[in-house]
Structure 1
Amino acid sequence: MQIHHSFAAAALLAGAVCLGVQAQTPAPAPAPATAPAALAAYPSKPVRVVVTFPPGGSTDVVMRLLVPRLNDKLGQQVVVDNRPGAGGNIGLTLVAKAPPDGYILGVGAAGALSANSSLYAQMPFDVLKDFKPVTMLAAIPFVIIGQPSLGPKTQKELIAMAKAQPGKLSIAHGGNGTAMHLTAELFMQMADIKLVTIPYKGSGPAALDVLAGQVPLAVVDLPSALQQIKAGKLVAYAVTSPQRLPMLPDVPTVAEQGLTGYDSTGWFGLVAPAGTPPSVVSRLNTEITAALNDNEIKASLRNLGVEPAPSKPEEFEAYIKSENLKWAKVIRSANIKLD
């Protein structure tokens, strides 16, 4: 993912509106304080942020880490409302149908904001029409891990083994239709190999079963496997992000080991209902971006294995569109469908 972590906020203030008057009467000059006063009026009551995952998960933890800073800067209470289910569709449906005034927002992940449109036969909302992207919040890189006893020590050796034994090796992931599942499918498609994918109820259980020798390979998020990798109990074949990770500087990316252009990173960001005023979107973007760029908050996020990724609204919107196109192709090729 190539989202630049820089944002210079510039709230766009509405121009004066000329009112109809008699022909000989000059139009009254607009009051100079009107537009700034309108901008300052938001928020005038608590803001609810719908998080599409249960309490305690990465998405929830990141949002709650930002809440004290946002309470202070916005001057109103920010309330986290956890609405998990249906791959994020339940929570985001609530946001899509909310009034476009900035008081009900949503935190959606890569699944609900990109892949779900291709995974589900019917969607309760249109990602590209029903939301106004505010900012990316964070990225969660994945890592391809294996048992040390498996044999291969590098991605090249792993691919060679898989090609010699098509359909024999299995790879665990965090659940059907999750970003980890799609990460594995993209890896297989680009490497031209066939692995048996095994869904688990989350990244942690998948990593534990690799550690226990129940499954030879897995795609997991970094926090689930970092300590075991550092202890030499798991082999890290590659990280799935475009760049190496500071936490695992000696583990190469998938792309630099021969699969040029490979990029699969978990991510999540803040969206508002379509039609939310630009001034409100700008205010939210300014305050959240400043919080994510705070050194203390950045350090806290990185300790969780999460990379802060603030962006401009237009950057986030373009990224969502590109992710929708990329994963639609992968999902069609793998013939993945969810009910």
Structure 2
Amino acid sequence: MKRSLLSLAALAACAWSIAVPAAADAAYPAKPVRIIVGYSAGGPTDAVARLVAAHLQTKLGQPFVVDNRAGAGSNIASEAVAAAAPDGYTLLVAAAPLTMNSHVYKNLKFDAVKSFVPISKLSSAPGVLAVRTDWGVGSVKEFVAAAKKEPGKFTYGTTGLGGSQHMATELFQRLAGVKLTHIPYKGASNVMTDLIAGHVDLAFMTATGAMPHLQAGKVKPLAVAGPQRLSGLPNVPTFAEAGYPAMISDSWNGLLAPAGTPEAIVKKLHAAAVEALQMPETRTKLESQGAIVIGNSPEEFRADIQREVAHWAEQFKAIKIEMQ
């Protein structure tokens, strides 16, 4: 009898241990959720994060607060989320450098594949090669001819060593057989400011961040590093049209949680995020900025991350960047 009572007590305790987390997952979110972004407010990644956060707040009934932690190539934000409790109350909106930084920075405190649970890739945007307006080149062909004539003379701005802009320009230099001089900046807005002022000659800019300046004629777009022309820049050809089909540069934004976050919470966040992306006003706003709306599954997003980590390992090996 005593043994039976002990067995029943053990079963009850086991059932309780299972039921409590399940109930907590079902009640999620029960308090404000923080979305950490590794870039400054007002940038393209921040803009996507705030669009999605607003809908998550409305849909799930708790504040979703965007917390900008710029610096170290977005590593500060990634490390903070990787170290956070896997309870769904600290999330990350990351960009393409998440899959690059392990090849640039030593002693990172996170792994792009192992430290996070992917929720959904939210959007992507191609790079646009833009030059200063007072430079007399009007096409990729003319630009390449000028660069070949005077190797190393022309400068390009980026957000830093090993970032998306830097890697896009390195790839194009290899494809076109040209030599340019790298000028790193602290952020995309700094690059754009100096490109408009003519202090640098060119830059690969993310379409979402550069679109207002491109459309206003403050800088001159030469080509789009994507599979198709952008609706906001219908007269700007793709690199494939310009003779460089391998010149593809994609900058994405995605929602992730710390590794170990319960599947029920991931599913709830995924459903709400995809719903946000499907809303006409959200889609229209993102597409007008040059973005492509995605909203894929956690499994698809994980496969994307794994593929990109492997891809960038080869790219960084080819250009021999010294790790910082």
TM-score by length of 1: 0.81
Unmatched 5+ stretches in structure 2? 1-6, 9-18
The aligned runs of 1:15-26 (5 Å cut-off) are none
Q: 1:252 aligns with which of 206, 230, 237?
A: 237
The answer to whether the Cα contact below 8 Å between 2:228 and 2:238 also exists between their aligned partners in 1 is: yes
Q: 1:222 aligns with which of 175, 188, 207?
A: 207
Q: 2:267 aligns with which of 282, 287, 306?
A: 282
Q: 1:264 aligns with which of 232, 249, 254?
A: 249
Q: 1:85 aligns with which of 47, 67, 71?
A: 71
Q: Distance in 1 between matches of 2:20 and 2:85?
A: 23
**Does the alignment pair 1:140 with 2:125?**
yes
Q: Distance in 2 between matches of 1:225 and 1:137?
A: 19
Q: Distance in 2 between matches of 1:216 and 1:234?
A: 10
3-state SS of paired residue (1:128) = coil
- By percentage of residues, which structure has more helix? 2
Q: Deviation per CA, 1:188-228, whole angstroms, max 9, x where unpaired? A: 12222211121233333333433333332222233554455
CA 1:188/1:138 → structure 2, altered by over 3 Å: closer, same or farther? Answer: same
Give the Å deviation of 1:311: 1.2
Q: Distance in 2 between matches of 1:57 and 1:153?
A: 27
Q: Which residue of 1 aligns with 2:304?
A: 319
CA 1:49/1:233 → structure 2, altered by over 3 Å: closer, same or farther? Answer: closer
- Between 1:63-72 and 1:219-228, the stretch displaced more is 219-228
The aligned runs of 1:170-319 (5 Å cut-off) are 170-222=155-207, 225-230=210-215, 232=217, 234-319=219-304
Query: What CA RMSD, in Å, does the superposition of the two structures yield over aligned residues?
Result: 2.7
Q: Distance in 2 between matches of 1:73 and 1:184?
A: 40
Q: Deviation per CA, 1:97-123, whole angstroms, max 9, x where unpaired? A: 222222221111111x21101001221
Q: Distance in 1 between matches of 2:237 and 2:151?
A: 24
Q: Distance in 2 between matches of 1:81 and 1:164?
A: 47
**Does the alignment pair 1:72 with 2:69?**
no
Q: Distance in 2 between matches of 1:173 and 1:92?
A: 21
- Between 1:201-210 and 1:178-187, the stretch displaced more is 201-210
Q: Which residue of 2 aligns with 1:101?
A: 87
Q: Deviation per CA, 1:14-48, whole angstroms, max 9, x where unpaired? A: xxxxxxx99xxxxxxxxxx9999675322233222
Q: Structure 2: which amino acid aligns with 1:118? A: H
Unmatched 5+ stretches in structure 1? 1-20, 23-32
CA 1:101/1:207 → structure 2, altered by over 3 Å: closer, same or farther? Answer: closer
The answer to whether the Cα contact below 8 Å between 1:207 and 1:224 also exists between their aligned partners in 2 is: no
Q: Structure 2: which amino acid aligns with 1:163? A: K
**Does the alignment pair 1:51 with 2:37?**
yes
- Between 1:271-280 and 1:327-336, the stretch displaced more is 327-336
Q: Which residue of 1 aligns with 2:99?
A: 114
Q: Distance in 2 between matches of 1:202 and 1:335?
A: 23
3-state SS of paired residue (1:127) = coil
Give the Å deviation of 1:85: 2.1
CA 1:36/1:175 → structure 2, altered by over 3 Å: closer, same or farther? Answer: closer
The answer to whether the Cα contact below 8 Å between 2:209 and 2:289 also exists between their aligned partners in 1 is: no
Q: Distance in 1 between matches of 2:164 and 2:192?
A: 15
Q: Structure 1: which amino acid aligns with 2:29? A: P
The answer to whether the Cα contact below 8 Å between 2:159 and 2:166 also exists between their aligned partners in 1 is: yes
Q: Structure 2: which amino acid aligns with 1:109? A: A
Q: Which residue of 2 aligns with 1:29?
A: none
Query: How many residues are matched?
Result: 309
Q: Deviation per CA, 1:38-68, whole angstroms, max 9, x where unpaired? A: 7532223322222222333222232222223
CA 1:325/1:160 → structure 2, altered by over 3 Å: closer, same or farther? Answer: farther
The answer to whether the Cα contact below 8 Å between 2:25 and 2:262 also exists between their aligned partners in 1 is: no
Percent identity of equivalent pairs:
43
Q: Distance in 1 between matches of 2:281 and 2:227?
A: 25
